[in-house]
Amino acid sequence: MIKPHGSDELNPLFVYDSEKRKALLVEAEKLPSLLLNSAAAANAVMLGGGYFNPLTGYMNLADSMSVAEKMHTVDGLFFPVPIVNLTNEAGVEAGSRIALRDPNVEGNPVLAIMDVDAVEDVSDEQIAFMSQKIFSTDDEKHPGVSTFTALGKTLLSGPIQVLSFSYFQADFPDTFRTAVDIRNEIAEHGWEKVVAFQTRNPMHRAHEELCRMAMEQLNADGVLIHMLLGKLKPGDIPADVRDASIRKMVEVYFPPNTVMVTGYGFDMLYAGPREAVLHAVFRQNCGCTHLIVGRDHAGVGDYYGGFDAQTIFDKEVPKGSLELEIFAADHTAYSKKLNKVVMMRDVPDHSKEDFVLLSGTAVREMLGKGIAPPAEFSRPEVAKILSDYYQSLDQ
C-alpha cells in the first residue's frame, strides 16, 4: 500500500489505548481549559485520525508563515496549509499543559490535551499575509477568508493527544472514518490502486460517471467516495442528506465491493488550489494512490480559475512531495449526441446545446417544487432524496 505522507507508518494522534485515554480524561478535568473555535477543533479531529500525518500537533508561527508562503515548514516538510490553533483567549502560558474543549458538542467536553510549546502574538499583517497565500484573496466576502481572519491573534503551538472525534462518530456512525480506518479497510479489500473522490455536495450523474471513468482509465481496484462532514457555508446541503443520496447512488448503480462511502471531520476551507493539495495529502494518508481533481475543486464563487486546482500540482508542488497522483478531470456533462456522460474536452465537435447543463440554482428550484431534474442529470433515486429535503425547507 502507498506510504503515508512524511513517514513510513501512519501516526494518528488519537489515544487508542482505552485505559490511557481514561486516565488522560481524568487528568484533563484538573487542567486549565481552552474552548477551541470550530477550525481548531476540526484540525484536532483530523490530527487524531491520522489525516494530517506526520504532524504531531499545531504549528508555530514560523512554520505557519513558511507553509503559507512556500508550502513547507521551516524544516522542509511539505504541507499546503497551516494547521493552527488560533485563539483570542488570554492567559495560556508556554510550557503549560491544557485541556482543549470542543465548541461543537453540548457541554464542551474535552477533545484533546495539549502541551503548549509556544504562545505567540500574530500581527494583523501576518494574518493578512497567511490569508492571502492560503486563499489567493483578501476579500472578506470569501467564506474562508472571513473565517480565518476572525479566529484570533494568539497562536498556540505544540503536540496534542486527541481523546475524542467530536460529534462525527455519534452523528455519522456509518460514515465517519479515520485515515487509520480507511487504510485498514483498503487492506482488507486487497486493493492496491485506489481513486479518491472528494465531495461536499450530493453526487449527480456527472460525478458518478467521473468516478467510473477514473476507475476504468486507471485500472483501479476501487473508489473512495470521501465526503466532508464538518461545517459548510450557509445554503450548502447538510451532511446527512448528502450521505443518504450518495449511498443510494452507490447501492443502485455501482457493482458491489467497488466503492467505499466514507466521510471525514473537517470544516470546509473553500481554499481552491491550496485545499486541493491538502486533499491530496490526506488522501495519501488514507492509502489512496490517486485523487480526482476536477473543475473548480474546493472553490467558491469566482475566486479561482476553473483549473487552478490542477495546475498548482504542476507549477507549485515540488516533484516528489507526494506519492499520490492526480487524475485531472474536465467538466463532465451528459451528451445528447452520444447518449452518455462525457468530459467536454473529449468531444470538441459538441456545442453547448449538445449537453444537458443545469445551474445549481435551477436544480434547487426544480427540487424545491418537487420536479425531478432530467434523468440525464440526476438519478431519480438521488433526486427523490434531495427533493424531499428541499421541500421540507418550505414547510
* CA 385 from centre of chain: 23
The strand order across the sheet containing 355-356 reads 340-343, 332-335, 355-356
User: Is 53 known to be catalytic?
Assistant: no
* Residues 278, 51: Cα–Cα separation, whole Å: 10
Q: Please report where in the chains the cell 467497488 appears, as a residue.
A: 258
Instruction: List residues bridging with 87 in a β-sheet.
Output: 154
Nearest 5°: phi and psi at 352?
-60, -35
Q: What is the separation of C-alpha 129 from the centre of its chain, rounded to a whole number of angstroms?
A: 23
Q: What is the CA radius of gyration of the chain?
A: 21
| Rounded Cα distance, 258 and 265, in Å | 23
* 223 contacts 214 by C-beta, under 8 angstroms: yes
Task: Kindly name the residue from 11, 97, 201, 247 that is annotated as catalytic.
Answer: 201
Residues written for the chain: 395
Q: Which of 21, 97, 108, 200 is catalytic?
A: 200
Alpha helices in 295-378, H assignment, sequence order: 308-315, 360-368
Q: 165 exposed, middle or buried (CB, 10 Å; 0-12, 13-18, 19+)?
A: buried
Separation between Cα atoms, residue 38 and residue 103, nearest integer Å: 6
For residue 108, which of 19, 205, 182, 38 has the smallest C-alpha distance?
38
- Residue 259 belongs to what H/E stretch? strand 259-264
Centre a 10 Å sphere on the Cβ of residue 312 and count the other Cβ atoms it contains: 23
Q: Is 201 a catalytic residue?
A: yes
Task: Give the residue numbers marked as catalytic.
Answer: 200-201
